[in-house]
């Protein structure tokens, strides 16, 4: 599997420089195992709150085990839908991931450092480097798929530790019903980095049930990952600069920007391309924009702005 590494296409998605060197509270890790901060509400050592002051500890933890960051607020309805899903999936992974919850109202420095334009916003830290994941409340299966990709990416960078979960009782993580066969096939293919097989499985699932929202979300994400697999960001940017109205060249850079968290840049590039083309040539650009809108989330402020500009160009 060839997945963009943290600090390459994802560089610049989050600015942690102002927080990286903050004083850390003293930690007392268990011998031979990474230690997570105190659990949120005492429920699980895998789920904990993080503050502006304790963020340095979380950065260090990310060098041993991937840390998922959940940016939320008490007033945010979608946050309350998504957070239990994140907690459930993290706990089921048995210590291979941990979940750090950031209340953006109580921790403005972290909110600013993570450039939280809308919430819920979920990203990860791998070896101290930020990895954008998604914004908005997404289906549970999409969370599972994204976390599977995150674990692969972490393994490629030597981050394969686990956090002890002795305190987690069986009733915290109830057994999940088996996935539908085509979803299970897609999930297995994603874990193996075989995006083409995952795409085929999701397409079959949608053919059987066009209302399968999890399959539709999974298909969009896997198609995006398949398009950027093995791509070189600088080479892609050079090709796009040399061919300002070339669809393939511009599409690839936009895809890489979305994967890297530069969503506004991706939308701006495609909208500029749409504006530059004749009416007869615009359809593929509009289709790609609509596909990316769906991936980012219809309620995301960046999508709303881009939709407004697209509408102004259409009429």
Give the residue numbers annotated as catalytic, written as ranges. 76, 79
Dihedral pair phi/psi, residue 72, rounded to 5°: -145, 175
CB 69 within 8 A of CB 47: no
- Which two tokens mark 171? 């009733």
All residues at 6 or more sequence positions from 52 whose CB lies less than 8 Å from its CB, including other chains:
19, 22, 107, 108, 109, 110
CB 207 within 8 A of CB 188: no
> What's the CA gap between 212 and 234, in Å, rounded?
37
Angle at 114 between CA 117 and CA 104, to 5 degrees: 70
Nearest to 87 by CA among 138, 43, 37, 21: 43
């Amino acid at each position: 599997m060839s997945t963009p590494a943290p600090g390459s296409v994802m560089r610049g998605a989050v600015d942690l420089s102002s927080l990286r060197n903050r004083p850390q509270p003293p930690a007392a890790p268990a011998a031979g195992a990474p230690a997570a901060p105190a659990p949120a509400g005492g429920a699980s050592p895998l789920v904990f709150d993080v503050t502006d002051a304790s963020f340095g500890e979380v950065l260090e933890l990310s060098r041993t085990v991937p840390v998922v960051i959940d940016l939320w607020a008490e007033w945010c309805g979608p946050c309350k839908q998504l957070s239990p899903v994140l907690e459930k999936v993290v706990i089921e992974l048995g210590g291979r991931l941990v979940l750090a919850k950031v209340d953006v109202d109580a921790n403005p420095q972290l909110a600013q450092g993570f450039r939280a334009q809308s919430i819920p916003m979920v990203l990860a830290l791998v070896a101290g480097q930020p990895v954008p994941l998604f914004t908005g409340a997404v289906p549970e299966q999409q969370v599972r798929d994204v976390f599977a990709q995150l674990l692969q990416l972490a393994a490629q960078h030597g981050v394969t530790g686990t956090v002890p979960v002795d305190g987690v009782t069986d009733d915290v993580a109830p057994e999940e019903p088996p996935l539908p066969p085509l979803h299970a096939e897609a999930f297995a293919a994603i874990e193996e980095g075989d995006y083409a097989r995952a795409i085929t499985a999701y397409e079959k699932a949608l053919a059987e049930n066009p209302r399968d929202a999890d399959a539709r979300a999974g298909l969009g994400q896997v198609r995006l990952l398949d398009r950027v697999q093995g791509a070189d960001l600088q080479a892609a940017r050079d090709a796009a600069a040399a061919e300002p109205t070339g669809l393939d060249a511009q599409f690839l850079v936009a895809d890489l920007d979305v994967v890297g968290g530069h969503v506004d840049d991706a939308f701006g590039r495609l909208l500029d391309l749409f504006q530059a083309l004749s009416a007869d040539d615009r359809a593929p650009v509009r289709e790609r924009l609509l596909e990316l809108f769906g991936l980012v989330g219809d309620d995301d402020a960046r999508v709303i702005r881009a939709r407004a500009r697209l509408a102004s160009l259409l009429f």
